[in-house]
Amino acid sequence: MSTKVNVNWVKDMLFDAEVSGHHVKMDVDVQFGGNDEGARPKPLLLAALSGCSGMDVVSILKKMKVPAYTFKIGLDADSTSEHPIIYHTIRMDFHFAGEDLPEDKFVKAVRLSTEKYCGVNAMLSKAANIIVRIFINGKEVTYNED
């Protein structure tokens, strides 16, 4: 299967990426020649990672018939200082909230995503150390990588 993305240069440092019929603007700060009219390309990798894993987790929890909950993912990445500047460490914090949430199911869903299903995670983990933490109602739960 092939994936196609078309990227057009608009002006200065502004680019427009067409991804599956949707447009994503990419730009940089004025100090780097842009006008801050779009997202930076590298942080979009973090958004792709959280979107990929988040969709997996929601799908898995739905199959497990987990009741109502709220969910967000926070990402924080550290970069190298030499060119090419890449992320060497990425921290993914999965935050769930709700009443009487089954901890084991949330841990299993996150593990399945981050260790088996999320292709973005599989690709990025070849270049960066990805650290996963899970929080339920603000309390960190054990996430063992056996």
143, pLDDT greater than 90: no
Tell me the pairing of strands 87-97 and 70-79.
antiparallel
Q: Which range has the worst mean pLDDT, 1-5, 53-57, 75-79?
A: 1-5
pLDDT-above-90 percentage for the chain = 95
144 Cβ contact partners less than 8 Å away, ≥ 6 residues apart: none
User: Tens digits of per-residue pLDDT, 89-138?
Assistant: 999 999 999 999 999 999 999 999 999 999 999 999 999 999 999 999 99
Q: How many domains does the chain have?
A: 2
Q: Is the dihedral of CA 39, 74, 108, 70 positive or negative?
A: negative
Percent of the chain with pLDDT over 70: 97
**105 in a structural domain:** yes
Check residue 1 and give its pLDDT: 87
- Cα gap 57→36, rounded to integer Å: 32
Reported pTM: 0.92
Whole-number mean pLDDT of the chain?
95
Is 146 part of any domain? no
CATH code: domain of residue 115:
3.30.300.20
121 and 53, same domain (yes or no): yes
Q: Do both 62 and 126 map to the same domain? A: yes
Query: Do 51 and 98 share a structural domain?
Result: yes
User: Over 60: is that where the pLDDT of 81 sits?
Assistant: yes
Residue 145 has what pLDDT?
56
